Structure formats: C-alpha cells, structure tokens
Amino acid sequence: MPALAALFNVEWGDYTSDLLDALIKTIEFTIVGFIGAALLGLVLALMRLSKVRAVRTPAAVYTELFKNIPLLAIIFLTYFGLPSQGVRLTVFQAGALSLIIFYGAYLSEIFRAAIAGVHAGQQEAAEALGLSRGATFAQVIFPQAMRSALPGTNTMLVDLLKSTSLLVTISAAELMSQGQLIASETFRALEVYVVIAALYFALCYPLSQGLLWFERQIRAGVPLAPRRRRRLRLARQLLEKGVAA
C-alpha cells in the first residue's frame, strides 16, 4: 500500500492535544449554539402563534430575514461588523451568537408548525379539565409538539455541528481552524483535511444515529422521564395487587 503510506506521513502524535482541544471547542459551539437556538426558536414560534399582531409580526420578519441570509454573512457581521458600532465580541461569543441567530430562525419554523399541528381538541380537553394555561402548554401541547418536531430538530442539530466549520473564517479554534493550522505547518493539505473530515464524520454519525434511536424510543411510547416510569411502575403494582375497586 505505497499510496496510503504516502498519504499519511504527518506526525499526528504531535497534534493530538491540539486536535482534542479543537474537538472540544467544536462541541462547545454546538452545545451553546443549539441550546440558544432552540430557546430563541421556541420564543419566536410562540410569538408567531400569538393572537396579537404586534407580537406576531416582528417574529415573522426576524425569521424571514435570517433564513435568507447566509450563515457566513452573519458570522462576518457579528465579528467584523459589530465592532464598528462599539460592540466588540470575543471569537466564541460572535461564533455562538451567529449560530444562535441563524438556527433560531430555522428552528422557529419547525417549532411553529409542530405547535400549530397539535389538535385543537387537546387544548379544549385540557381547559375542560381545569388545567391552567401554563400547565396546558407544559403538559399537553409542548410534549406533543416536541414529538412531531423531533426529526426536523435533530436534522438541524447535526447541520449546526457541521456549520461550526464555517467559524474557520474567524479562527475560532474549532476543528476546521485547527486543520488549517496543521495544513499550513505540514503542507499536507489532502492528508490533513481527510483526517479533519473523518473527525467530523466521527462526531456526526453517532450523533445522528443516536438521535434516530431516540426518535424511535419516543415513537414507541417508551417513557423516558424517570417520573413517568415511576408512575407507570406504581400503576402496574396497584393492578397486580388488586386494590379494592
């Protein structure tokens, strides 16, 4: 295998700790970006479902605006653009903010469709049982919406992880930036980027498979919350014991 041997001759041992740091940085961007985007997306979705026009409109404008601007442009705006207005963000702040701004818009669309898709009869049944507005949302609407939003949301999470590579443009110390550094030191672009690509794959593939497994569990009705498991276990025990009817 002379071709393969020729391909791999960077001293990877020298870069292990750098790559590990870069991997962690990528994961940090993914976690912070996704949590922020999910929260923003939920707020935007709820705003868009409001009866009040003055609440609905800004959310709709936001979503349309940032869905139609490339992520790279948003990254440049937050990191290179904002300082001219006196807002100076660190690389991490600018990177995470860009991901939140961009993916928040997409997630809001998924969440809005999922919440609106919960049957009106569910809201009524909850109301008729005297549930408060908060409890109705938390116990009835949100869990059902979450189930139908799950596939789209999971796709977005994996997409967001891959998009952290765009942060190479602001040298965010994530995987892609680290790859660029190693490539410029070793002049082994093909080898380095094959390894970087493999690392992204090693992150994304288990993640998306894990999320698919999670979706299947939810669809099969497996109770994941410990509280639900406990309740169902107690119910089974009662049924076995045969409490007096």
Partner 1 sequence: MTTDATKSNGGPADLVVRIDALVKSYPGRGEVLKGVSLEVPRSKIVSIIGSSGGGKTTLLRCVNLLERPDRAEMEIGGEPVFSGERLVCRDLARLRQTVGMVFQRFNLFPHLTAVENVMLAQIKSARVPESEAIERAVTLLRRVGLGHRATAYPDQMSGGEQQRVAIARALALRPTVLLFDEPTSSLDPESTGEVLKVMRELAEDGMTMLLVTHELPFAQEVSDWVVFIDKGLIVEQGPPLDVLQNPREERTKAYVMGYASHFEGGLEEAQRVMGI
Query: In this complex, which beta carbon is closest to partner 1, that of residue 4 or of residue 225?
Result: 225
Q: Which residues contact 177 (CB under 8 A, 6 or more apart)?
A: 22, 167, 168, 171
- Nearest by Cα to 76 from 1, 156, 169: 169
Contact residues: partner 1, CB under 8 A = 119, 121-122, 124-132, 135, 139-140, 143-144, 147, 221, 223, 228, 231-232, 234-236, 238-239, 243-245
List, as own/partner pairs, every contact residues 84-87 make where C-beta atoms lie below 8 angstroms and the sequence separation is at least 24, other chains included. none
Query: In this complex, which beta carbon is closest to partner 1, that of residue 150 or of residue 167?
Result: 150
Query: In this complex, which beta carbon is closest to partner 1, that of residue 146 or of residue 211?
Result: 146
How far apart are CB 208 and partner 1 at their closest, in Å?
24
How far apart are CB 207 and partner 1 at their closest, in Å?
25
Query: In this complex, which beta carbon is closest to partner 1, that of residue 32 or of residue 218?
Result: 218
How far apart are CB 144 and partner 1 at their closest, in Å?
5
Q: Using CA atoms, how far apart are residues 150 and 148, in angstroms rounded to an integer?
A: 6
Q: Give the residue carrying structure tokens 């998924």.
A: 110
How far apart are CB 231 and partner 1 at their closest, in Å?
6
- Nearest by Cα to 149 from 110, 179, 108: 110
Structure tokens at 149: 């939003």
Query: In this complex, which beta carbon is closest to partner 1, that of residue 76 or of residue 142?
Result: 142
How far apart are CB 221 and partner 1 at their closest, in Å?
5
Secondary structure (DSSP) of 81-106: IGGGGT----HHHHHHHHHHHHHHHH
DSSP code of residue 242:
T
Query: In this complex, which beta carbon is closest to partner 1, that of residue 65 or of residue 135?
Result: 135
- Nearest by Cα to 12 from 184, 192, 132: 192
How far apart are CB 42 and partner 1 at their closest, in Å?
18
